[in-house]
Chain A
Amino acid sequence: MTIANAGYLEATARQRVRRFFDAGSVHEWLGPAERVTSPHLPALEMPVAFDDGVVTGRATLEGKTVFFAAEEPEFMGGSVGEVHGAKLTGLLLRAARDKPAAVVLLLDTGGVRLHEANAGLIAISEIQRAVFDARAAGVPVVAVCAGSNGCYGGLGIVARGCDWVVMTEEGRLSVSGPEVIEAQKGVEEFDARDRALVWRTMGGKHRYLLGEADALVADRFDALRLAVASFFGRTRAIDLASVRAEHAALGRRLERFATAGDATDVWASLGVAEPKAVPMLTPGDFVAMADRVRERADA
């Protein structure tokens, strides 16, 4: 497969940015030429990246100005260090000030960069506050969780604090990753090598059926950009009514699926006719089926 034909999943952050947004529209802030690197990795004799593993800037999508960030999957697992995190916070605060049509976060991360552990965790908390600031300013914030590392750790929480979450079947969204659960709780709790288990527990189709994701599309740039553009001009309030609605939905989810041992049990109790066939469905067929039975987190 050539790069030109490859999907989003296998692409680098810069390939993603170039192919996601309108041709020639990408303008980077604090790009590699500025050499804004981690101040902490050299002390550990670790190599740095000239963008600290995240591409940030503005571009247009379907002709509308958006601010974007794209995490580089190949640099330390897309992890959040001090600089990486501050670029995301700065982008979101700038969005709250300048009010672009949307902020698009192409997340691809294991979460906190352990080599900068404390600074990474604090950075994620600052990103979370800044997401809420951008949303309060009326800017829709869209998280795309479709990358090869998945979207894990604190950024998994941050993604769900955005207005909208777009996923692919291959994308994963969770707080604790399979390896972390297995390492801490044992292989009986989670067998991280069981890829089918990983995908049905944390993958895009399950997240869409639960209402944790708002769109599920194929691993293709055209499909992903259409999904993101569909959220232009659509914001979700963060107010008492909206958290009340979410509270009711999350309470219902706990009740409905209290006895489910596996995601296939959740799908069966949702009324999916053939739970075992879900992984085989194309995104189009899946969404057509899922839209009849899926839970929602906001209603």
Chain B
Amino acid sequence: MLDPILLCSQLFPGGHDVHIEGERVVGTGLAKAGEVAVVGTHGHAAIGADLAFALATDVLEVIEKHPKRPILMLVDTQGQRLSRRDEMLGNPGYLSHLAKCFEVARRRGHPLLALVYGEAVSGGFLALGLTADKTYATPDAQVRVMALPAMSRITQIPIERLESLCRTSPIFGPGAEHYEKLGAIESLWSGDLAGHLEAALALPAGSDRRRHLGAERGGRTAAHSVVERMLAAP
């Protein structure tokens, strides 16, 4: 996995001041099209109440100080913070607040991109990463709901069975390429990262097309048709 600061040097050959603050990765990078705000996490951070709140602070600052500036989420999260304290304090409210801040940014004209460069797991990924207009990943990114051994334990499905299903279906197992096939990850970035970023910044934000992509790529064939049927049902 790439160090987030080295990653930014590759993403922004024109320069950046992105730095580490606790579990956050924050700063500004210079792309050809202009300045890009970076909001993210590192060290497989677990996103609990405090971190979600701090990330929301970063997003609000971009909205208020730099109208319409693109925001790049750099995602490395093991998921929501699993603790009694965070749930007692209302983790749904904190994670949802972060998602709302991104939604306000989107509606005020900030293009939202995400790059998963470490881990992206369940609740953490829902608030940071899947809230982007388009989500990208490096090829070695670990994207999942749960590791297969734990999934096997909980579902009581033998792990050999899950492993064999993973070879034929992107639905069960971890992997950025699975999420690409399912339409949640637009594409995998390798090689010229700055070039990928420039190309992504040039795309219009548009509406949520993940279910269309999942159907086109053959990985998630039911979601789009079910939505269409719900829209058309007499």
Contacts and interface: CB of A to CB of B under 8 A. Distances in A.
Q: How large is the interface on B (under 10, 10 to 19, 20 to 34, 35 or more residues)?
A: 35 or more
A50 interface: no
B123 A86 contact: no
B194 interface: no
Interface stretch (B11-19, B30-38, B69-77, B150-158): B150-158
Contacts of B49: 250, 254
A117 B171 contact: yes
B210 A86 contact: no
Interface string A230-274: 000000001110111011001101100100111100100000000
Interface in A168-226: 173-176, 180-181, 184-185, 189-190, 201-202, 206-207, 210-212
A229 interface: no
Contact of B60 (A125, A132, A175, A247): A247
Contacts of B172: 115-118
B100 A238 contact: yes
A125 B184 contact: yes
Nearest to A184: B82
B109 interface: no
Given A119-B220, A243-B60, A90 B230 contact: yes
A114 B155 contact: yes
Interface in B80-112: 80, 82-97, 99-101, 103-104, 107-108
Q: Is the interface of B mostly helix, strand, loop or mixed?
A: helix
Contacts of B103: 132, 238
Nearest to B227: A90
B200 interface: no
Interface residues of A, number: 83
B60 A153 contact: no
A89 B82 contact: no
A129 interface: yes
Interface stretch (B1-9, B21-29, B124-132): B124-132
Given A112-B122, A247-B57, A250-B97, A118 B170 contact: yes
A24 to B, nearest CB: 18
Interface in B35-66: 49-50, 53, 56-57, 60, 63-64
Interface string B104-147: 10011000000000000011011100110000000000001110
B205 to A, nearest CB: 12
A76 B122 CA distance: 19
A107 to B, nearest CB: 11
A266 B56 CA distance: 24
A73 interface: no
16 contacts: A86-B226, A89-B227, A94-B230, A117-B144, A117-B145, A118-B145, A128-B126, A175-B92, A176-B91, A181-B84, A189-B83, A243-B56, A246-B100, A247-B53, A250-B56, A261-B85
Give the 4 A-B CB pairs with smallest separation, nearest first: A90-B230, A86-B226, A160-B96, A29-B233
Interface of A: 29-30, 36, 38-40, 43-44, 56, 82-83, 85-87, 89-91, 93-94, 97, 112, 114-126, 128-130, 132, 136, 153-154, 156-161, 173-176, 180-181, 184-185, 189-190, 201-202, 206-207, 210-212, 238-240, 242-244, 246-247, 250-251, 253-254, 257, 260-263, 266, 297
Given A240-B108, A254-B49, 18 more contacts: A38-B222, A44-B157, A86-B224, A86-B230, A89-B230, A90-B229, A115-B157, A118-B182, A122-B220, A136-B107, A161-B96, A176-B82, A201-B84, A243-B56, A243-B104, A261-B85, A263-B88, A266-B88
